[in-house]
Chain A
């Protein structure tokens, strides 16, 4: 019997290695797997490359992971936001590498990784300083730049519902980066609000099929997320 459901956050994060590239779902706080990120603090892996849209806020989750010196590099589109002081201090002090990627290129690089596409051309970023050092080519009279797939060793994502095969649904704008990150990683761990019996999620309504998910752990987050 296939059963991807594990009983604890610790178990869900077993085997995450030092130096791993970790994809973290969410757009700001929405769809962000807070308990898995906190679990990574306990788990101990270091020298991480973190891929996320934002660079954490306050002194919890990703911000705390950075504060404790566990993150070597962050790849994101929008590191500066309300409360992103930990990121800003570490970056200014030269203690954190930063790769800025336009948001759509970030999503597409992960989608490409999941779909077996090693690189692609896009006009986004052409003619800007983010094109520096990138191969460029003209298609239909317009300059495009080459962007490479961005695979993860691990993806930490947040689902709304899951079953033991790892089929997932998301809730409202909590979907965001989670499905493409699930596709792009070798080990995808989903924290979920609800676990349903096999077949209870309508096959027409599965957002991420279980083929992209290796482990599922239930976390009831309480208000305002219920």
Chain B
């Protein structure tokens, strides 16, 4: 019973983003979400380095060195897009103007804590970037990540072992196996199993905290 692919996870997230939202996408699978939002559904992408209305990567040979995303890859601008400086860009994030931020993570806890920036207390060179601003400031924070680590340890946990990015910030987690909400006072609530043929008990066995169901 295989889980969904990285593209499948990105597509599943994209399905839940309605027209009109201002959305900031993190590096990795979150970036791929943009490719799965149909062009006719107008979702306005924000990039922390001062862009609204960010479009896809340029066609080969049409790149513009002045126009990069948060991962420093070249991108394009859609008609209606705009540029602004860093304090305004983070004013949008910190001031609660961004409807949704999608980030990757090392761990998410059942109380919504997220750890996604440093892998130990003594990281040789920690790098936080805009993750803490986004986690604390966006109206909604969704995480897209594998359900377990490569060696099979759960990434949905009772309590994060890695240094926190923000406490109590995550509302929803999309993994290669399932869609899980974080509900204050309850913890993880299963919305959907994505892995074909997987039972609730099998999913629970790969999850480091209790999975509730609405039923």
> Residues of B contacting A111 with CB < 8 Å?
87
Alpha-carbon distance between A11 and B83 when the two chains are bound, in angstroms? 32
> Residues of B contacting A165 with CB < 8 Å?
none
Interface size class of chain A, counting residues whose CB lies under 8 Å from the partner chain: 35 or more
Does A36 belong to the interface (CB within 8 Å)?
no
Does A77 belong to the interface (CB within 8 Å)?
yes
Q: Least Cβ distance of A64 to chain B in Å? A: 18
Q: Least Cβ distance of A23 to chain B in Å? A: 12
Does B142 belong to the interface (CB within 8 Å)?
no
Does A209 belong to the interface (CB within 8 Å)?
no
A sample of 10 more A-B contacts (CB under 8 A), given A127-B166, A129-B163, A179-B86, is A78-B127, A81-B127, A102-B130, A102-B132, A126-B167, A128-B165, A173-B47, A177-B86, A179-B85, A207-B85
Given A107-B90, A127-B167; A173-B66 close (CB under 8 Å): yes
Does B139 belong to the interface (CB within 8 Å)?
no
Which residues between 47 and 94 of chain A lie within 8 Å of chain B, taking CB atoms? Answer: 77-81, 84, 87-88, 91-92
> Residues of A contacting B130 with CB < 8 Å?
77, 102-104
Does B50 belong to the interface (CB within 8 Å)?
yes
Number of A-B contacts (CB under 8 A): 145
Which residues between 172 and 218 of chain A lie within 8 Å of chain B, taking CB atoms? Answer: 172-180, 207
Does A123 belong to the interface (CB within 8 Å)?
yes
**13 CB-based A-B contacts, threshold 8 Å:** A27-B68, A77-B128, A78-B127, A87-B125, A103-B48, A103-B86, A107-B87, A124-B133, A124-B137, A126-B167, A129-B121, A173-B51, A175-B85
The residue of chain B having its C-beta at the shortest distance from the C-beta of A224 within the complex is B65
